[in-house]
Structure 1
Amino acid sequence: MLTMEDIIRDGHPSLRKVAAEVSMPPSEEDKQILSSLLEYVINSQNPEISAQYSLRPGIGLAAPQINVLKRMIAVHLTDESGTLYSYALFNPKIISHSVEKAYLQAGEGCLSVDKAIPGYVPRHARITLKGTTIDGEEVKLRLKGLASICFQHEIDHLNGIMFYDYINHEDPLRPIDGAIAIER
């Protein structure tokens, strides 16, 4: 089981590297790693388990955050309308996105960043992505709202991008023109 000890922190060079594609079919080791990413986010949202193991709650985790430079992400969240998105994906790729932007009103956080970094992070309001599940099934997801933002955040980790790279450092809390403000 992954714990906070396994998650590398901001400043670690692996967080700024581009992760490699996972060759298909995935190895048992890669399946185990991907499974452990999803297990962490699910466990971190369970008050008893999270307290017992000192897990910081998260809704997504990418393999580079545990120092594995491979294109794997896990997301476990319930959106504004009560829909559960629980996915562990190999090689997720955004294949289309809206021109319209969105951002989380409360800003974004990251399990690899130990301090709060205030500021709005502009993201695409809607995305379509493709990826492969642990069972080798190709999935295509059309996402909006919190789910869209979370998947973009995790895919950025695969490309060595941190959420705060997008914040307007002159005026971090200036509303983003024409963007949808999403409450969490």
Structure 2
Amino acid sequence: MALLPILSYPDSRLRTIAAPIKTITADIKTLAADMIETMYDAQGIGLAATQVDKHVQLIVMDLSENKDAPMVFINPKITPLVTEKQPYEEGCLSVPDVYDKVERPNKVRIEALDENGDAIDMEAEGLLAVCIQHEMDHLNGVIFVDYLSHLKQTRARDKVRKVLKVRDKQQLDHDRKVKEAQATPV
């Protein structure tokens, strides 16, 4: 398994529409496993293939407390089961450190395939319903900040740039220290 780089907002590749998966191959299963590892490493609860620059209809999620119940959704389709929408505070691995309320139906039906090609047909409420809709948006080139005002989108873009700049600096500092440690004779 491998950790995959996660695209950050406003990267235009996040706007790519994902293609349906025709056949569940070993490569698709590996991608799903890599996405699960990447999601756990990033401390997320959901990840769409679009976010790791793979433009196929694949979503992984794990809403369990112990991070031991990963779910894989291939070619997912959702149907709202209620007309009213409820606000839910969302965040996104592609929009680090930005959180805001988004209104979505609180109950949906999910139809998909799992990584073995078995059919999934379930009703979801609460966090699972919100999370699957959030990840489905990614497959359709939509990011949760698209639901926010123009001002909040601008603030989100600026905040992501600052977060990435800090991360880059921390990585450079870490790499420099590792290099210095390797160059020091024992």
> If you compute each CA radius of gyration, which structure gives the higher value, 1 or 2?
2
Distance apart, 1:31 and its partner CA: 1.5
Computed over aligned residues only, the root mean square deviation of the Cα atoms, in angstroms, reads 2.4
2:97 counterpart of 1:111: no
Distance apart, 1:62 and its partner CA: 0.4
Query: Structure 1 length normalisation: TM-score?
Result: 0.74
Amino acid at match of 2:135: E
Cα distance in structure 2, aligned partners of 1:162 and 1:23: 25
Q: 1:65 aligns with which of 51, 60, 78?
A: 51
Distance apart, 1:35 and its partner CA: 2.1
1:13-60 per-position Cα deviation (integer Å, ceiling 9, x unaligned): 210111000003x1211121012222333xx2xxxxxxxxxx331000
Distance apart, 1:2 and its partner CA: 4.2
Bigger relative contact order, structure 1 or 2, given CA contacts below 8 A and separation 6+? 1
Count of matched residue positions in the alignment of Structure 1 and Structure 2: 152
* Cα distance, 1:120–1:152 mapped onto 2, change above 3 Å: same
Is contact 2:58-2:72 (8 Å) kept?
yes
> How do residues 168-183 of structure 1 correspond to structure 2 at under 5 angstroms?
168=149
Is contact 1:64-1:157 (8 Å) kept?
yes
- Which residue is equivalent to 1:123? 104
User: Which ranges of structure 2 fall in alignment gaps of 5 or more residues?
Assistant: 154-186
Cα distance in structure 2, aligned partners of 1:70 and 1:171: 29
1:121-157 per-position Cα deviation (integer Å, ceiling 9, x unaligned): 0111100010000111001120010110011001100
Is contact 2:107-2:126 (8 Å) kept?
yes
> How do residues 122-141 of structure 1 correspond to structure 2 at under 5 angstroms?
122-141=103-122
Structure in which a larger fraction of residues adopt helix: 2
Q: 1:156 aligns with which of 137, 148, 161?
A: 137
- Which residue is equivalent to 1:101? 85
Amino acid at match of 1:103: P
Is contact 1:89-1:132 (8 Å) kept?
yes
Cα distance in structure 1, aligned partners of 2:122 and 2:69: 10
Amino acid at match of 1:114: P
Amino acid at match of 1:108: E
* Cα distance, 1:115–1:95 mapped onto 2, change above 3 Å: same
Identity %: 31
Cα distance in structure 2, aligned partners of 1:89 and 1:99: 24
* Cα distance, 1:116–1:95 mapped onto 2, change above 3 Å: closer
